[in-house]
Amino acid sequence: MSEQNRSSEVLLKVQEKYFPPEEIVKRAWIKDYEKLYAESIRDRESFWAKVAEELHWFRKWDKVLEWNFPYAKWFVGGKTNITYNCLDRHVQNGRRNKVAYIYLDEDNNERKITYGELLELVCRIANGLKSLGLKKGDRVSIYMPNTIEAVATMLACARIGVIHSVVFAGFSEGALRTRIEDAKAKVVFTATYTKRRGKKVELLPTVKKAIEGLDFVEKVVVWDRDSEGIKEGEKFVDFYELVKTSKPYCEPEEMDAEDPLFILYTSGTTGKPKGVLHTTGGYMVQTYFTSKVVFDLHEDDIYWCTADIGWITGHSYIVYGILANGVTSLLVEGAPDYPDPGRWWSYVEKYRVNVFYTAPTAIRMFMRYGEEWPAKYDLSSLRILGSVGEPINPEAWHWYYKHIGGERCVIVDTWWQTETGSHMITTVPSYPAKPGKAGKPMFTVEVDVVDKDGNPLPPNTVGFLVIKTPWPSMLRTCWGEPERYEKYWKTIEGVYFAGDLASIDEEGYVMILGRADDVINVAGHRIGTMEVESALVDHPSVAEAAVIGKPHEVKGESIKAFVILRKGVEPSEKLVEELKDHVKKVLGPIAVPEEIEFVEKLPKTRSGKIMRRVLKAKELGLDVGDVSTLED
């Protein structure tokens, strides 16, 4: 762990605290974190029952938690519908004409949709799904841009108990096919294209290639963005034709709290991506609560999360948790710095955004453009600034605080995962923050930093981050692979192994230092080394490949590949570009290695396992550590 210890030495010196302004403390939902946290640990079930009572249930639960290690059930026997809590509840309580989303594309075309209009659109799509023969428990894959249509499709699935699996629309056909095939999706929703940097990025051709030979895919519903007409044959259905011919109201399915809500695929350390399964009740309760208290959401707030719905951040903090709170959100398609680096800040000014949630990668990108860009705009409406996806380094934290927040906003640095479903570690807005440290555990969440045998480590020592007890929004299993789910709880026996390195200081502030396993975090996107290696080996010129993550000043990490070529193949710049194109085709642009180095051999154990840490240590000029198990 020498590399992490070195980086931690720098960060552990950062002990200054930033106290929130008095007006934010006065307004905050949580005034006394320490007192409430202690109460939540004493009686976690009463804590979550109280939160759950703020939401609508068709039938109240019999029991808050049933814990049979490593499997949990929350709100046992409770019946609810997450879309009823996100939409109907607000429409009935006077928010029918309140704007739910303000959507913007790269050309600044704006579209607003109210809670009442969104409810009708969701109901029409849900009835359309029923007309296609879908029923509770069936799966739908969604491969769409960051748009109202995509959000409404997710909600329409949840309305009738269909399990949605959203696939980021930047993935190529290979990655899309893997996810459609694993979920056995009966229907795929897509759009003809998305737009990025002024160019159309075709989506429909990718879907057509991805579903070739997959007989279980019965229909593809296509949002025809230019109204050119869908000419693909009987399997392909026009999105808005389906909407127009469907009834405007759909009764919400009464879902058991433990009924599946969605599958979201996340990169693992081995083989294919894991289908993380989230269920209805616990996920709804914890995303609602964390949205409300971490972002300090109030009736008049304008909220903006810059993530894509293809990731867990989009699911929890663009869709479900935010709609459950009934606030108005921005939903933005396209690149953050196109047509110029002022794009985002112009929206903050125009819409008077109060809460802004983005990734350190974006912040570092804007740092490179210079503070003159945000300085052109009035950002005085901002109150809360959030950070997500990877640890935010102190330099980026200070820049964000000064140039975006005007030294008067609170920064909430949130640590959580696809698997956790919602925020697990952060500082609530009324509590002081430490730059470079995520903060303290969320209510009822008990964390520790331990060695490989599970022994707690002293303060300021780098070890493995673990969670000691169950929480409502936790994943319930990995789709079709319970053994992969159980591994989270059995890697270090008796606790949830997060796969991240961390340290805890004397005051209980947690600092996250990045992944402990073979997952690379590129611009907040988790990419498994195995996925990239498999894509490279799939090329006819490649015999073997190993991939590592390297520190990158903007993306956090970049990908470097070490490649052994087949006999008779000569290394060349042309081949480097060919291999990059191949990875792009198989997995998508986010997984393309920034560097490819041709090598004669790779460091391996006697059992044949590639020692990526040795490659990484050599690459970064660090001590390679124990190499006693190396074959050569």
Number of domains composing the chain:
2
* Interaxial angle between packed helices 33-42 and 44-52, expressed in degrees from 0 to 180 and rounded to the nearest 10: 110
* Model pLDDT for residues 92-148, shown as the tens digit of each residue: 999 999 999 999 999 999 999 999 999 999 999 999 999 999 999 999 999 999 999
User: Residue 276 domain-assigned?
Assistant: no
Task: Say yes or no to pLDDT of 610 above 60.
Answer: yes
pLDDT at 627: 52
User: Residue 598 domain-assigned?
Assistant: yes
* pLDDT confidence band for 2 (50 / 70 / 90): very low
Q: What are phi and psi of 137, to 5 degrees?
A: 95, -20
User: Residue 339 domain-assigned?
Assistant: no
Task: Say yes or no to pLDDT of 227 above 90.
Answer: no
User: Residue 158 domain-assigned?
Assistant: yes
DSSP run (H or E) holding 68? strand 63-68
CATH code: domain of residue 167: 3.40.50.980
User: Residue 417 domain-assigned?
Assistant: no
User: Residue 169 domain-assigned?
Assistant: yes
Task: Say yes or no to pLDDT of 625 above 80.
Answer: no
Where in the sequence is the domain holding 599, given as residue range(s)?
Answer: 519-620
Task: Say yes or no to pLDDT of 587 above 90.
Answer: no
pLDDT at 8: 43
- Residue ending a domain, among 198, 221, 253, is 253
Where is pLDDT greater, at 31 or 543? 31
- The neighbour count for residue 227, using CB atoms within 10 Å, is 8
Strands of 479-603 (E only): list them.
Answer: 496-504, 510-515, 519-522, 525-528, 542-552, 556-565, 595-598
User: Residue 526 domain-assigned?
Assistant: yes
Where is pLDDT greater, at 291 or 16? 291
Pairing of strands 542-552, 510-515: unpaired
The Cα–Cα gap between 608 and 574 comes to 30
Q: Which residue shows structure tokens 């049979």? A: 68
* Model pLDDT for residues 247-291, shown as the tens digit of each residue: 999 999 999 999 999 999 987 655 688 999 999 999 999 999 999
* Model pLDDT for residues 408-450, shown as the tens digit of each residue: 999 999 999 999 999 999 999 999 999 989 999 999 999 999 9
DSSP run (H or E) holding 75? strand 71-76
Question: 394 preceded by cis ω (within 30°)?
Answer: no
The Cα–Cα gap between 582 and 590 comes to 13
User: Residue 448 domain-assigned?
Assistant: no
The Cα–Cα gap between 378 and 383 comes to 13
- Residue ending a domain, among 253, 278, 294, is 253
Pairing of strands 355-358, 519-522: unpaired
Contact call for residues 410 and 20 (beta carbons, < 8 A): yes
% of the chain residues with pLDDT over 90:
78
Where is pLDDT greater, at 512 or 358? 358
Contact call for residues 268 and 528 (beta carbons, < 8 A): yes
Task: Say yes or no to pLDDT of 11 above 50.
Answer: no
- Residue ending a domain, among 224, 253, 282, is 253
Q: What is the mean pLDDT of residues 292-319?
A: 97
CATH code: domain of residue 538: 3.30.300.30
Q: What are phi and psi of 402, to 5 degrees?
A: -80, -50
